[in-house]
Structure 1
């Protein structure tokens, strides 16, 4: 049930109040929401009374307003919430949050109505491109106010009104509605509109593993053609592998934000696999990602089950697994694991043989007997995964999810190591991959004996709701192609701002991030000279921080990203996302003569990075940082200090000019010195 009730203004005005109330009660009884409370019933009575009065005044002001659509209790998928009411004009939608008996709009009410409006603007097909006006009607309020939003958002300022001002506000909105040659939005069409939310990684993980809301998640992902085709392709490969006792390696690539992790989670929860008796396991070598997801799973499980924190943490630990721990456990026996399907997330970061040996040697030197020090010979993680799964006598599938251009540290093997491991030691395995995987590995598909499927690559970002080309913009910026970059900029759908002061970046985030959306600072781990500005990125400092709290704690918690006191580096935020991000740019990646110049800080000086692989790591760090945002980002380029040679003003001025040439929009500090109202 999408909405409890919907009418034209004329129909709503003429319908008896008790009939409307009965319809709301009946709809609520079958909606799956909590049992109707006395407070909710009283709120509906008050809301219906006010809306009837408003409809009467609208029609009296202009008889053509009789066809305005009126919707009550529209369900917002995934939020387990319903917006109270919506008035549908020609090119404008007014979303109303009623607070019966309240004398003022609370911050909670402002957050609620902003969330509803943003969700409509981003996900609701009929609402996209419309003017969306949020309204909080506190019935006992004696005066009204307007809470400004920002030009960098998709919704209008929030109107806070009392009973006396409610109808006049709707009349003004209707009168100012754009004069287009069309009728008012039909309420039936609006209620039946496709609603296509793209959930975040944390939300998807919680919903799929803890089961509540998973239908909405599955529907949202299935609605994206490329994602659905990819999932179907892997499902068919798994079925073939099962029927033919075939061992198969799938290398699925994708641009940043394309939904690799989301679809990997969907594959892990495929009901067809479970019904066939095939167990699956979701692995990752990304420690911070696992820590954040486990914390979110545990918190949600505790809230819904009413169990202790310890029990909830144990539950979360059983669902997501470190690839290092998984392999260490597998090496204790030569028996095949219980799983027939392995999904390896962030597989481009799998360690090569040298890295595995280095880590094992380091742990042995400290007298540690651990998951890594048990390896007898230096084989890569891809090779070890294939060895473990090759123990099965019947068919198995390994799905390696590889991000394009996201190798960020030494020892990360990249997609080529998966192909090498298969070709050298497991040639009997079937290899299905994308053309991108073959290209990045630098091999010939025929020589590699690989099947190249287009469905094995996700080429469009779904992280950014209103622009699928942000990843292309980032790639153009990082490869020195400003002309191409400008073609991909869409400031209406995804604002990209540029400021020169850190406080201005913080103010931009606070001003433009509405509702319960999350924002935060991110910075490269190589930004050693951001310390004078209060941004510390050293490994020792980051080790003391709890990034699970940074990603999940609410506003007001100083440990959270909302505090804007600490920055997450590429290591903490790879695979995760925020709604809005401030990228703190440092002197480790400057620009000159049309190309980006990666540098590293040693002692008291910056040194140019000469080795091609290490240059790529630095550029990829910024690729990760620039693709973390879902709804918009601001880039802070420090002014520098002419007295400090390690913070060159010239370098940063050049960089700022380059980013503006690429399409970033400079935001000047207002005359009053503040971005906030």
Structure 2
């Protein structure tokens, strides 16, 4: 019987009796895009595996699945899955004598993906195993991975697999809807084309569906009652705020015109590039220019305005500067001021990433929104409890909705505590960060570090090899002025290829995955990569038991130190699968390198 989504599958007794040539032929056909030299190691591995399993008649009813190609994996395929009703061995063969760091990360990645996304694996005990073909030492365990020589596999199976009287159902396993949560860009495309998003337990635990449903009901009531409402949604980095906003403006349950706005130029570029449309995604600056400068008397078509990255809303001074003195209010003030030009309903949804103000003019934060409501008291405010006092202390009515604070990260699907860990680091709580890092790494979030840029790039290329839908890229602080001396070339200020940088694979000359050009905190906020390479700069370094900032002459900002901390908060929270940090060999960064080792990073 043939099974879908794998190179070959069957029960152990069938595997042993099947000629090697038939199994290799099946694998070769399945892996036809691979070069033929990959088949020879399989031939060796199959022969060795048969020799070692033939005497274990008690496991003849267990199943073997070779090269399981689970959906949306980006090219990941475990070499072998040994399937028992209660325990699953995830086995990776390597044609070398000793395993390398990237091998451990690879097999742990398989286990994490299957645990999180596969409905059958979720309730099983999964054990990651590495088998270097030339390995000839006693087996050992490291970081939760068992390293065995081929002939040790029978003993390991005998000790870890319990006899079951029930056949493992290979068909159910290989055809189960294994659905990893799509990236922000993939999600935007699915939403735009009215396709359902995967039903993933992390999105469910983050209560994204409930949040969307609550917003839809508020909009419907506002539409019926012809009222003006502000919805404030806060959350940790990667909690799904942008995803919620995109779902709102494309919701079939909202009958009034909607628009998604952002002051984040790179994010807008990427979304417009992927959606091949500018109709429902626009720059905040352009939107305000159109309604407040070019067409002052024009009625407002949109009845739902989603403002992404609303913590970056410009204050009055920044507006005066950027709009050449033609506008004289904050962005929240200008948005809420539109109420005078709307006879019926208007709903503004502000998506607020806390602790991510990184630019001049963004430091007023929630105060801008409080002041705007005081000037336009017709607005009703709904938001999470922790923002309530800002409004209540100014005699502004405030309805608390706890759903509107998103506390779980769905970007770092395997490391919900990553945001808290980054906060510990930036707050100087080294011991707490070190303790929490162990859980993060156990959950499968890679934390790697190097002082050699070529070694760093090679690691990224190795772990991302053949994963064509996955994306990597280099990140660097905008204030690390000498990064090019250490092999890091930042993109220019007016960069027009963010869409390609994030969306295309490394065959495209502008792709971030080529690891040629780096984007800054301004180019990555609100966006994500599967595995980013962060170049640490001399603008933020550890000395005298605390973080120090060195940025030269500061611009017109209230607290340059806080902006730099927030910049590194953004840079450190972009990864879905892990984070690799490159620390240049600069004596001023020696202490920084050592402290990063203490908080959980491990050398490649």
Tell me the distance in 2 between the aligned counterparts of 1:497 and 1:327. 43
Tell me the distance in 2 between the aligned counterparts of 1:630 and 1:5. 24
Which stretch of structure 1 is more off in the superposition, 82-91 or 524-533? Answer: 82-91
With over 3 angstroms needed to count, the CA separation of the structure-2 counterparts of 1:77 and 1:333, relative to structure 1, is farther
5 Å matches for 1:457-496? Answer: 457-489=405-437, 490-492=440-442, 493-496=444-447
With over 3 angstroms needed to count, the CA separation of the structure-2 counterparts of 1:55 and 1:480, relative to structure 1, is closer
Residue 437 (1) aligns with residue 380 (2): no
TM-score norm. by structure 1 comes to 0.70
Root-mean-square deviation over aligned CA pairs = 4.4
Aligned to 1:203: 186
Alignment match of 2:11 (pick from 6, 9, 32):
9
Contact 1:347-1:414 at 8 Å conserved across structures:
no
Tell me the distance in 2 between the aligned counterparts of 1:114 and 1:553. 26
Residue 520 (1) aligns with residue 473 (2): yes
Alignment match of 2:505 (pick from 547, 550, 554):
554
1:282 shift after superposition: 1.3
Alignment match of 1:580 (pick from 531, 553, 564):
531
Tell me the distance in 1 between the aligned counterparts of 2:321 and 2:5. 65
Contact 2:187-2:197 at 8 Å conserved across structures:
no
With over 3 angstroms needed to count, the CA separation of the structure-2 counterparts of 1:114 and 1:296, relative to structure 1, is farther
Aligned to 1:120: 114
Contact 2:202-2:413 at 8 Å conserved across structures:
no
1:631 shift after superposition: 0.8
5 Å matches for 1:328-407? Answer: 328-331=289-292, 332-361=295-324, 375=326, 377-389=327-339, 391-407=341-357
Contact 1:467-1:494 at 8 Å conserved across structures:
yes
TM-score norm. by structure 2 comes to 0.77
Contact 1:402-1:415 at 8 Å conserved across structures:
no
Residue 241 (1) aligns with residue 236 (2): no
SS of 2:510 mapped into structure 1: coil
With over 3 angstroms needed to count, the CA separation of the structure-2 counterparts of 1:452 and 1:11, relative to structure 1, is farther
Contact 2:542-2:592 at 8 Å conserved across structures:
yes
SS of 1:215 mapped into structure 2: coil
Tell me the distance in 2 between the aligned counterparts of 1:318 and 1:220. 32
Residue 291 (1) aligns with residue 288 (2): no
1:567 shift after superposition: 1.1
Which stretch of structure 1 is more off in the superposition, 225-234 or 485-494? Answer: 225-234
- Unaligned runs of 5+ residues in structure 1 are 14-38, 44-49, 97-111, 136-143, 160-168, 299-315, 362-372, 641-648, 668-677
Contact 1:10-1:55 at 8 Å conserved across structures:
no
Tell me the distance in 2 between the aligned counterparts of 1:190 and 1:241. 47
1:388 shift after superposition: 2.4
SS of 1:461 mapped into structure 2: coil
Aligned to 1:180: 160
Tell me the distance in 2 between the aligned counterparts of 1:530 and 1:247. 48
Alignment match of 1:130 (pick from 126, 132, 138):
126
Tell me the distance in 2 between the aligned counterparts of 1:547 and 1:427. 39
Aligned to 1:326: 287
Tell me the distance in 2 between the aligned counterparts of 1:482 and 1:627. 18
Which stretch of structure 1 is more off in the superposition, 124-133 or 507-516? Answer: 124-133
1:457 shift after superposition: 0.8
1:358 shift after superposition: 0.5
Contact 2:225-2:345 at 8 Å conserved across structures:
yes
Tell me the distance in 1 between the aligned counterparts of 2:109 and 2:388. 42
Residue 531 (1) aligns with residue 494 (2): no
Tell me the distance in 1 between the aligned counterparts of 2:584 and 2:174. 48
5 Å matches for 1:634-673? Answer: 634-640=580-586, 649=587, 651-667=588-604
Tell me the distance in 2 between the aligned counterparts of 1:325 and 1:206. 23
- Unaligned runs of 5+ residues in structure 2 are 16-28, 34-42, 93-105, 136-140
Contact 1:336-1:389 at 8 Å conserved across structures:
no
SS of 1:130 mapped into structure 2: strand
